[in-house]
Chains A and B, each alone.
Chain A
Amino acid sequence: MVSRREDPVSLAVTCAVNVHGLCRRYGERVIIDELDLCIGRNEFVALLGESGCGKTTLLRALAGLDAADAGTIKRAGEVAVVFQEHRLMPWLPLWANVALGMESRTGRALARNALGEVGLSGRENDWPRKLSGGQAQRVALARALVREPRLLLLDEPFAALDALTRIKMHALVKELVARHHPGVLLVTHDVDEAIAIADRILIMRHGRIAVSLDVAAETENGNTACLRANLLNELGVDVPRFAHA
């Protein structure tokens, strides 16, 4: 298992977001405890952890939706979020949903392009209720990417989709991230999903990053079985542990 240690001086230059000593408490309960994290520009990081370990709390802190009790979060630029639910405004046509918060003159054209990128060209005047779950989540993705964020936060965005749609979404997200190259933090509970799309996988435990694994380095000849078993063991699922070859 490889644990990456980064040089704190170079962090400031290379991080899409740099978190130092982050703490978050709800009453007596410590959710996030002195957490340090750097997500590189153009790096795709997946965050795993058991339910209630603070994954989503961390994501919300990075998004600026929740205040931190202590610590610093340095963001390289704009942050965009895709939530588990699509959270489209049912009363706005698709293009207006995508262009939300943008200048109206340029917004419409950019939104049309972004909808084309997620395979929904020609649908910009439709109401959100005409979309399937997968399509709605693609619009949410377009809404996030249209503002060219430095950091893209994905909070279990595929959890509610059926298995086939989910696989298609993985490919789409990979393609879009390669084109727009933001740093990405994907919060998920699906080990296979993490292996399929991330460069680096983190496991959160007791309010800290307990494990950090580089997917390429842990994969031998495209065989991810060993990595998968290790991750599941780290998450407390009892599977036969593979020996390192």
Chain B
Amino acid sequence: MQTTGILAAEVFAVPDTAEDDREPRADSGQESRKHRVRAIARQQRGRRGGSLGDRGFFIVSWLVPLTLVALWEIFARLGYIAPQILSAPSDVARTTWNLARDGSLFTHLGASLLRAFAGFVIGGTLGFFLGVLVGFSRLAEAVLDRSLQMARAIPFLALLPLVIIWFGVDESGKIFLVTLAVLFPIYINTMLGIRQVDPKLLEVARVTGLTAWGRIAKIILPGAMPSILTGVRYALATACMALVIAETIATDKGIGFLVMDAREFLQTDVIILTLVIYAILGVLGDSLARWLEGRLLSWHPNYATEETA
């Protein structure tokens, strides 16, 4: 029997009396333990960081990349880095400004985004519906799942030659590749999410007389949502990869075209610009996924944003 001071204090702090319940805060033993753990973590952080606070760490985390860019600029200016190898950041900025001013940057960006968007919508919708179908029905699983899993085993980029033969070099082939890249992660995660819904919660549906539609809308889809959104996050990454490859097929606009064209003329600054654009798209995609998670999973302790405790 342990009777340390902390444990005893916790036992007396826990009971959920009627007065406690009126307060908006959660009053479980788990909660008070969480507070203690957090306090200890704060102490440890203070000890390890010396005099640096959270703000100090934030500044340091930005200082490092900014210093690297500054060094890169300086060495490029001093002539230690040849401009064909790595253009100076200022050159990249100037090129960006020029491309933006004559509008071609936006034409290319728009073309790429349109392809990504179309592929994502088509692939996401297909993947979601196939996932729902197979998640719910054993028959649909028997009919569809094996074939889909076999198709998924093919690296979709290996389909590139076939795609060119099927679709030629116009938009549809590029959208098709993005669609494939999006379809499988969404399909797998939707299907698994539905299958992993706790059967004990489905028993509650039976004893409360929930209709079939109520069961889907109130239990199965919300229960599968964390998994589905994991699929979305993964699909955003693979869609980006598919876009890069798809745009190397003969094309006259898009970010991929910018890169191919720049390579022909050794325009390293343009190449670096496109890398930055891909990075920004990646960050934007991630924020989109975060935003969806914040909206759809606000009930989930791991995604909660309005947490006050």
Cβ–Cβ < 8 Å partners of B31 in chain A: 132
- Whether a CB of chain A sits under 8 angstroms from the CB of B209 is yes
Given known pairs A87-B201, A164-B15, the reply for A100 and B26 (CB within 8 Å) is: no
By the criterion CB–CB under 8 Å, are A65 and B206 in contact?
A: yes
Given known pairs A101-B209, A119-B18, A162-B15, the reply for A129 and B222 (CB within 8 Å) is: no
Q: A83 contacts which of B200, B223, B301 (Cβ < 8 Å)?
A: B200
Look across to chain A and name the residue whose beta carbon is closest to the beta carbon of B206: A65
By the criterion CB–CB under 8 Å, are B15 and A129 in contact?
A: no
CB distance from B186 to the nearest CB of A (A): 20
Interface 1/0 per residue, A132-176 and B, CB below 8 Å: 111100000001000100000000000000101100100000000
- Whether a CB of chain A sits under 8 angstroms from the CB of B75 is no
- Whether a CB of chain B sits under 8 angstroms from the CB of A178 is no
By the criterion CB–CB under 8 Å, are B208 and A100 in contact?
A: yes
A89 CA to B218 CA, complexed, in Å = 8
Cβ–Cβ < 8 Å partners of A79 in chain B: 207
A22 CA to B309 CA, complexed, in Å = 50
CB distance from B150 to the nearest CB of A (A): 34
By the criterion CB–CB under 8 Å, are B208 and A85 in contact?
A: no
* 8 A Cβ contacts from B11-44 to A: 14-16, 18, 21-22, 24, 26-31
Number of B residues with CB within 8 Å of any CB on chain A? 36
Q: B28 contacts which of A91, A120, A132 (Cβ < 8 Å)?
A: A132
Cβ–Cβ < 8 Å partners of A90 in chain B: 299-300
* 8 A Cβ contacts from B89-140 to A: none
Listed by A's residue number, 23 A-B pairs whose Cβ atoms lie within 8 Å are: A63-B207, A65-B206, A79-B207, A83-B204, A85-B200, A89-B223, A91-B225, A91-B299, A100-B204, A100-B214, A100-B218, A101-B210, A119-B21, A123-B24, A128-B299, A131-B26, A132-B14, A132-B31, A133-B28, A135-B16, A135-B21, A143-B208, A165-B16
Knowing that A89-B218, A162-B14 are A-B contacts, what are 18 other residue pairs whose CB atoms are under 8 Å apart, sorted by A's residue number? Answer: A65-B203, A79-B207, A81-B207, A85-B200, A91-B222, A91-B225, A91-B300, A100-B208, A100-B210, A127-B298, A127-B299, A129-B299, A131-B26, A132-B28, A135-B16, A147-B208, A164-B15, A165-B16
In order of increasing CB-CB distance, the 3 nearest A-B pairs are A132-B28, A101-B208, A91-B222
